[in-house]
Chains A and B, each alone.
Chain A
């Protein structure tokens, strides 16, 4: 199914962090609603007052805004594709890069993406842009 996606870096966190070294560090927030023993993904969670959906990718957890910016399809039904570097809303196959949220086949659209990390039994998240 996932033919011809190119070979994007599946974990852009390091690249992102390096690129942002000169800018102000974006703050981490406590991620609530996600349990350490969570086994079912996508999972709903909250970050700094915003409801997000947490996806489990091959390179770790990644957060996305809860609904597609196009027609508000829920990202709980989203599909991970292209070696887990993209996420696709099933309603109209609008597809977004997990590195920065840019629309791939829908260049007018962008989705909010969150880094997620686990420290001492708690989850934290922050926006990538």
Chain B
């Protein structure tokens, strides 16, 4: 792996960078971790040559819809980042204002640049039983905290997300729009699946009405209730109106929200996503999403040109989420975020979320990613490893991480066990998720941590490491709600060493 300060030249690839009107074979010169120049020029003395001839090259891909954090996230989020050609991604709703501190502490040192598409619900996406539509799960929307957070961490926030589902009409969409306006951020609305909920109000058309220029709607080609087509397959007028106003349509493939039938009918009427995103998460990385590259291949199969596909994972998303100062192009001076990829010819099958399959004769395959000039060889298998996406509580053994805990972490866990032993909670079920209890448990965690004077990251790692073999990260209140109270207390005591001391 080269260091970020090396000078090198990527030679001979077909470069696509629409922000600079480049679509030809050209050399890309990199120095000090930044793009120096694209085109023919004498190579700087000492610069390494990397032969990438016969391949394609673009700015590093930007995926504006992944799930890195929370109950949908990955043990190793870089597995769907730099190891898949993606140099910047946005967590679409994992954190809300109540857990953004946890999110930043835990995921601040990824190789891939991670940003928050924060959720209107303070707890962020719940994901435990998918009862996301109940308006009561919003709890309170603390405007002051949002404003203060945005002042301090402006750079982290890229949009405010809500779901166009729920049984209380479009009020939550308008609430989220209001918050996004206060924070001067785009609004990002999910119009896709309902999971277990029975929709009484169809909010997807409302999402298209509420969205303004620069706001985004994701899952454009979903095939559930509230799709973009009417019963005869024609694109709805409300969708066209939004498109004319400058609303940005995002693909958001996901595990439930891409239908070949809808995509083909809409594409034939020139309803095309402005940005291509994956919605990668624990429950769809094996199938059908696999990788952003697979989603890009699906768009090729749909009929988009390669240039149109590449634009939609580079300059278009960078513009949509205001990252043009650092991503989405190979302009001189920008960070050397670069993806080298192939377009293989062969016989492929691309499955949608409804088990429909299309045969394809091309597949986009990332080969090398450069992040700020550092090289990562693409490896699509890392994301597929079961340990990366299969989150299970280590019920019958103490995870290895617990043996590395510091004395302060053990003292914290003992104190936490003592407080938790005086309360009780009901496990999350398909019918019920006690969000207020999750908030209370989270509050308890913070109070004990503050009393012990333990840094947030150390406290979070201590709790995760007591119950999880892999480094998944999630809202601490929701993790506790997965555990039976007696088990949780006993395990915390065991890990803290209290039991052995008592013995």
A interface residue numbers (CB < 8 A to B): 1-8, 69-71, 90, 92-95, 104-105, 107-110
Contacts and interface: CB of A to CB of B under 8 A. Distances in A.
Nearest to A3: B387
A104 B392 contact: yes
A110 B431 CA distance: 11
A93 B390 contact: yes
A107 B131 CA distance: 13
Contact of A108 (B130, B284, B385, B386): B130
B428 interface: yes
A21 to B, nearest CB: 22
Per DSSP, chain B at the interface is loop
Interface of B: 128-130, 195-196, 255-256, 282-284, 286-287, 385-387, 389-392, 394-397, 427-430, 433, 469-470, 482
A94 B387 contact: no
A92 B470 contact: no
Given A93-B282, A93-B283, A108 B387 contact: no
B396 A7 contact: yes
A104 B282 CA distance: 13
Nearest to A104: B392
A90 B283 CA distance: 10
Nearest to B392: A104
A64 to B, nearest CB: 17
Nearest to A73: B355
A108 B430 contact: yes
B129 to A, nearest CB: 3
Best-buried of A7, A69, A71, A108 by chain B (most CB within 10 Å)? A108
Nearest to B286: A93
B129 A108 contact: yes
Given A92-B284, A108-B430, A8 B386 contact: no
A92 B429 contact: no
Contact of A105 (B385, B391, B428): B391
Q: Which of B283, B386, B390, B433 has the most CB of A within 10 A?
A: B390
B129 A105 contact: no
13 contacts: A2-B386, A6-B394, A6-B397, A7-B397, A8-B396, A105-B282, A105-B392, A107-B427, A107-B428, A107-B482, A108-B429, A109-B430, A110-B430
B131 to A, nearest CB: 8
B387 A4 contact: yes
B70 to A, nearest CB: 13
Contacts of B390: 93, 95, 104-105
A105 B196 CA distance: 17
A1 B390 CA distance: 11
Contacts of A108: 128-130, 428-430, 433
Contacts of B392: 5-6, 95, 104-105
A73 B229 CA distance: 26
Contacts of A90: 287
Given A3-B386, A90-B287, A108-B130, 8 more contacts: A8-B396, A92-B283, A95-B390, A105-B282, A105-B390, A107-B128, A108-B433, A109-B129
A95 B286 CA distance: 13
Contacts of B430: 69, 108-110
Nearest to A86: B392
A72 B395 CA distance: 27
Contacts of B282: 93, 105
B468 to A, nearest CB: 10
Contacts of A5: 392
A95 B130 CA distance: 16
- 4 nearest A-B pairs in the assembled complex, by CB-CB distance: A108-B129, A92-B283, A108-B430, A107-B482
A4 B389 contact: no
Given A92-B255, A93-B286, A107-B428, A4 B469 contact: yes
Nearest to B483: A107
Contacts of A93: 282-283, 286, 389-390
B283 to A, nearest CB: 4
A95 B283 CA distance: 10
Nearest to B427: A107
A92 B396 CA distance: 25
A107 B385 CA distance: 21
Contacts of A95: 390, 392
A46 B397 CA distance: 37
B394 to A, nearest CB: 6
B107 to A, nearest CB: 20
Contacts of B470: 4
A121 to B, nearest CB: 38
Contacts of B130: 108
Contacts of B387: 3-4
A93 B285 CA distance: 9
